[in-house]
């Protein structure tokens, strides 16, 4: 587990460790010089700025790395393009993103002690490809590069006018489209007929599943804008001059704003960590990807420093990436996120949780069948032989299991060392209870995105400090439920200190700046205390109109003290009068609201 | 390789071999009695007729088989249902069908010396599942059962009326549908919300990609009906009472006929043979599947006897399965098809061919990059180290290659033992030239389906005798091309004898009853003799109006002798006057037309 030290200390320690490991027997190399332990990707055929496919050069460099145990790959500054055509492929189950046979530009499976230093390079990807996939990797550092795409997976149309016939939108050349059988279809344009993993036939289409309005002046989701789900497409007519009129009942929009067509998939997250440990991502700008920015599963000891999820400068786009900026499922060790900026992405800034399976059959006194419920969790190895498990909605218990037989990506059979308690019943949920990460998030800007800020669901210590939140939904959400997402949560020790909560809740995603809840039916709330020991102190809450600050239920241990509350007029009043604090079904609550 | 003997001899030999293998040390078991080498699937939880999921029982029986080397699994007569939910899964590349992560009801990978005897059982599948997958299996026999589906992958609507506004169709309860955003969508109905491998979200939809008119009185494709491709959906309005009006420019249909909405995928073939040998399929009725009936790749010694591809009796359906009845890619040894019936499926009765990759890069004097071109061939191991290869459109040559490095499902690098000839160039195609099957097709009925009869592309001996053909396209087609399908062909020794060609070409798929061609541009035909040595003798050709009997080019060795030609009035004249024989750019042609 990585030590909790100031940033310069951290880097120094890492630097020293590497130096001693590599160069102790020989004369120490000067910092920055190239050795046979450092590979320059241009020696393998990559060339900055020439728009050629860099993928084969990266593969060749990685092959050399594996053979020689080189510890660093560097990119001379400039732009490098990546296409899926000649990339390796692997069938990937990536939690909360979409499974599939994926092309991978940097397949870092099984690698140890490797640093990839872009030295400020711009990596531009094309079509369906995952930039970085770290599978069973250890002590890998990714640094100093940006990630963008030639054609984004979302499409943005400026609202020109609205009337009874519909909304007129104008698309830039960056968003090629077509009208087919009366429906709006987004295409790759004529110049880019790439055929990749997810394409059938000969045309690359960019399917969409949702619509959301953004305010390009404020560079954030429009005030109280709601998601419109468009899974059957949007009826449209072409007006020429790149203008299209869409007809959607009850959808309104403000001229000058931007309607964003969000992709119906999460096929191409930017950085995937799976069963990996000791991963640093430093100085990386994620301007775009088709899924989450950094998604980690069953991994430990992850450090994000100066990671910026933000729309590409000069692109004119209002959206950065198309799903959560970061996401951690069944992780452990230490998660440290500092000096980061997570803005304008199409989902939360982070979500840290475990995963519940549901008991679908009782096969014997010591055996059950369990099923993963959410399709984006299918295939996830959420329990591993030897772990302790908990059951929820039966009495809580702790027991080893000894055998897991996976039937397929949905169903497993689990046999235990001893008989299970009688009260376990069909519909109960089960999760690993051995692995939770310590979490620190500090010195970050989090906001302007669709939905929420941080969803916190680890049972180890959590510290959220010195951040600036400006989220349209909750800034902080403590959840966990077994109805739709099946995400295990239930915090035990949380400190929220020294943050600025700046006009949060200007959108529709959540009841308060800080919300503590879970998918617990009102009738059952008296008996549950799912989240515990949350301290909220020394923060500044700036709220417009009648903003709700804390909404919570089923908490044991909630302290609110020494915060400053400021009223702003930065957004219109909602017209509702709500209490700033709404806390029910909880014990050991200390509420100091002045 | 299996001997070419009459059917009773064949079965006797097989029976004797099994008996001696199993029971020689002990007293011989009486025929038909059960021993510990025979497993009854009901002992593993299966129950005929109770509509429960038979998949777990089959898996348990197969697990026992592997442990005890049992040689037979039997089903007591009755109906058995299969759902994908608890089936094993595997990512499958199945030539000329669609790749994907598949659920499999009978996963027979690596099994040897096994007979599965349905004893007349009806197997009914639900949703996205492959009934039989034989991967690296040897000496496996499948017999005496039928395969059908709860809801078919295609949908059939009866034409009620046509007018300027469109065509009014009526769907039976067997084809649930919905109109969404003005487009016709086929569903599973409300009773069957199965969520399977290919489903995202919570609803199972049945996507379609084509329309074709059938004549339900004649139980065949309508006279001169053409495919209508509907990849962007069909605009429709609901008239109530299960009637729908579709609006498709230029599409006509005759009231009383049936419009078939063909699926846009081939996800669920019925019986898949991959890298297997010595496979018998006997007495099997394939009433439906979502892909090909029997698809074999890189397999040898395959015997189909009394396999019937036909619409389920009493179902009222005009379509049987949704793609080719049988298909063989890169197979070898012996293919014997006898006493079969292939009718009313949505593609050819059989296609026997190799697969071409295209040269995409010249990497060195002894190394090339090759690419598979057709998406349904992606992932197919079309060349294997040590094989001889041929190059086409460069001078023909034979050379060993020694290394194949697969980059992904599309691209491979191939390094040869010695330098390649200079004339090889980008765009040439390359294929294995070591493996071709001997083919016999006899005593079969082939017809009433969409498209053609047999596509013959093996260079070993082919005998087509005593069959009854009634195909809307060519009955026999010799092709091979490197433009769209990239199928290697080029026959060397074909005997077509004693067949009845009964009013073929009542549809649009092909220029003649027997067509010999290849995707060779007219300007290059003088130099190519791609197909060779075809003898057509002692057949009866019944043709309506001005039917063309043989159309051929680029053939070396074509003999037509001692056939009988009869004129019928069973179909309207097409109005065209065409010669019965149209043979160009060929050598050694003997044409005896009386």
DSSP string, A201-245: TT--B--EEEEEEEETTTTEEPTT---EE-TT--EEEEEETTEEE
pLDDT the model gives residue A183: 92
pLDDT the model gives residue B203: 78
pLDDT higher than threshold 60 for residue B18: no
Nearest to A89 among B185, B235, B408 (CB): B408
- Tens digits of residue pLDDT in A529-549: 999 999 999 999 999 976 789
Taking CB atoms and an 8 Å cut-off, how many pairs form between chains A and B? 69
pLDDT higher than threshold 90 for residue B519: no
**Strands A462-465 and A437-442: what pairing?**
parallel
| A408: chain B residues, CB-CB within 8 Å | 86-89, 103
Task: Quote the mean pLDDT of chain B.
Answer: 89
Among chain A residues, the shortest Cα distance to B200 is held by A375
Q: By the 8 A CB rule, do A348 and A323 touch? A: no
pLDDT the model gives residue B395: 56
* Residue among A213, A433, A441, A216 at smallest CA distance from A326: A441
pLDDT higher than threshold 90 for residue B176: yes
Nearest to B407 among A86, A199, A232 (CB): A86
Alpha-carbon distance of A267 to A92, in angstroms, equals 10
pLDDT higher than threshold 80 for residue A352: yes
pTM: 0.90
- Tens digits of residue pLDDT in B298-316: 999 999 999 999 999 999 9
Nearest to B232 among A87, A181, A231 (CB): A181
Mean pLDDT calculated for residue range A257-271: 97
Chain B closest CA to A240's CA: distance in Å?
21
pLDDT higher than threshold 90 for residue A523: no
CB distance A181–B233 less than 8 Å?
yes
| A410: chain B residues, CB-CB within 8 Å | 85
- Tens digits of residue pLDDT in B522-560: 888 888 899 999 999 999 999 997 678 999 999 999 999
CB distance A235–B182 less than 8 Å?
yes
| B200: chain A residues, CB-CB within 8 Å | 98, 375
Q: Which distant-in-sequence residues (6+ apart) come within 8 Å of A493 by Cβ?
A: A460, A461, A462, A532, A533
pLDDT the model gives residue B7: 36
Window from A491-495, B23-27, B175-179, B397-401 with minimum mean pLDDT: B23-27
pLDDT higher than threshold 70 for residue A31: no
Nearest to A182 among B85, B103, B182 (CB): B182
Chain B closest CA to A27's CA: distance in Å?
40
Interface mutation target, options B45, B94, B232, B369, chain A, most CBs of A under 10 Å: B232
Alpha-carbon distance of A530 to A519, in angstroms, equals 10
Highest mean pLDDT among A34-38, A413-417, B466-470: B466-470
pLDDT higher than threshold 70 for residue B30: no
pLDDT higher than threshold 70 for residue B221: yes
Q: Which distant-in-sequence residues (6+ apart) come within 8 Å of A46 by Cβ?
A: A52, A54, A57, A58, A75, A80
Nearest to A375 among B200, B233, B408 (CB): B200
pLDDT higher than threshold 70 for residue A86: yes
Strand ranges for B255-331 from DSSP E: 258-263, 271-274, 277-286, 294-297, 300-305, 308-309, 326-329
CB distance B408–A87 less than 8 Å?
yes
Interface mutation target, options A52, A93, A97, A101, chain B, most CBs of B under 10 Å: A101
| Residue A308 vs residues A94, A304, A325, A526, B284: alpha-carbon distances, Å | 22, 10, 9, 42, 61
Q: Which distant-in-sequence residues (6+ apart) come within 8 Å of B174 by Cβ?
A: B151, B152, B315, B316, B317
**Strands B208-215 and B220-221: what pairing?**
antiparallel
- In this prediction the ipTM stands at 0.87
- Tens digits of residue pLDDT in A459-474: 999 999 999 999 999 9
CB distance B181–A87 less than 8 Å?
no
- A16: part of which helix (H) or strand (E)? helix A7-23
pLDDT the model gives residue B478: 95
Strand, coil or helix: what is A579?
coil
Alpha-carbon distance of B210 to B231, in angstroms, equals 7
| A375: chain B residues, CB-CB within 8 Å | 195, 199-201
Q: By the 8 A CB rule, do B493 and B383 touch? A: no
């Amino acid at each position: 587990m990585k030590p909790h030290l100031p940033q310069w200390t951290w880097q120094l320690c890492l630097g020293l460790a590497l130096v001693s490991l590599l160069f102790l027997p020989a004369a120490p190399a000067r910092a920055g010089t190239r050795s046979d332990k450092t590979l320059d990707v241009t020696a393998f055929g990559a060339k900055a700025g020439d728009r050629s496919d860099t993928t084969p050069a990266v593969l060749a460099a990685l092959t050399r790395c594996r053979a020689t145990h080189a510890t660093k790959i560097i990119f001379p500054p400039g732009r490098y393009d990546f296409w899926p055509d000649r990339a390796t492929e692997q069938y990937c189950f990536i939690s909360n993103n979409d499974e599939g046979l994926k092309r991978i530009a940097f397949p870092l499976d099984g690698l140890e002690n490797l640093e990839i230093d872009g030295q400020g390079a711009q990596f531009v990807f094309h079509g369906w490809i995952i930039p970085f996939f770290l599978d069973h990797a250890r002590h890998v550092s990714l640094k100093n590069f940006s990630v963008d795409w030639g054609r984004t997976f979302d499409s943005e149309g400026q609202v020109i006018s609205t009337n009874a016939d519909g909304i007129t939108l104008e698309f830039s050349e960056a968003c090629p489209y077509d009208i087919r059988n009366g429906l709006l279809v987004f295409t790759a344009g004529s110049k880019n007929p790439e055929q990749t993993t997810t394409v059938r036939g000969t045309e690359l289409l960019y399917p969409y599943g949702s619509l959301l309005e953004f305010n390009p002046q404020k560079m954030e989701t429009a005030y109280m804008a709601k998601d419109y789900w468009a899974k059957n497409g949007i009826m449209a007519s072409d007006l020429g001059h790149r203008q299209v009129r869409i007809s959607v009942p009850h959808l309104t929009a403000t001229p000058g704003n931007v309607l964003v067509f969000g992709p119906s998939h999460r096929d191409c997250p930017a950085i995937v960590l799976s069963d990996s440990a000791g991963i640093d991502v430093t100085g990386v700008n994620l301007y775009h990807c088709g899924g989450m920015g950094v998604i980690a599963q069953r991994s430990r000891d992850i450090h994000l420093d100066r990671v910026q999820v933000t729309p590409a400068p000069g692109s004119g786009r209002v959206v950065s990436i198309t799903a959560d900026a970061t996401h951690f499922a069944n992780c452990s060790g230490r998660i440290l996120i500092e000096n980061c900026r997570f803005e304008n992405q199409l989902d939360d800034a982070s979500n840290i949780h475990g995963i519940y399976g549901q008991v679908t059959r009782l096969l014997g006194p010591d055996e059950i069948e369990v099923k993963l419920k959410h399709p984006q969790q299918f295939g996830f190895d959420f329990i591993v032989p030897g772990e302790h498990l908990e059951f929820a909605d039966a009495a809580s218990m702790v027991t080893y299991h000894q055998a897991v037989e996976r039937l397929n990506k949905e169903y497993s059979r689990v046999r235990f060392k001893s008989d299970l308690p009688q009260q376990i019943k069909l519909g109960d949920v089960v999760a690993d209870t051995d692995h939770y990460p310590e979490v620190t998030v500090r010195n970050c800007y989090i906001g302007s995105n669709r939905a929420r800020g941080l969803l916190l669901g680890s049972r180890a210590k959590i510290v959220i400090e010195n951040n600036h939140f400006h989220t349209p939904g909750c800034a902080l959400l403590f959840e966990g439920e077994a109805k739709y997402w099946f995400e295990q949560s239930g915090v035990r020790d949380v400190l929220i200190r020294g943050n600025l909560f700046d006009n949060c809740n200007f959108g529709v995603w959540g009841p308060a700046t800080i919300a503590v809840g879970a998918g617990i039916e009102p009738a059952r709330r008296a008996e549950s205390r799912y989240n515990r020991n949350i301290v909220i102190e020394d923060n500044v809450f700036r709220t417009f109109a009648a903003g709700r600050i804390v909404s919570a239920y089923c908490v044991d241990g909630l302290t609110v003290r020494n915060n400053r509350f400021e009223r702003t007029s930065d957004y219109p009043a909602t017209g509702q009068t709500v209490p700033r604090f709404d806390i029910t079904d909880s014990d050991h609550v200390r509420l100091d609201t002045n």
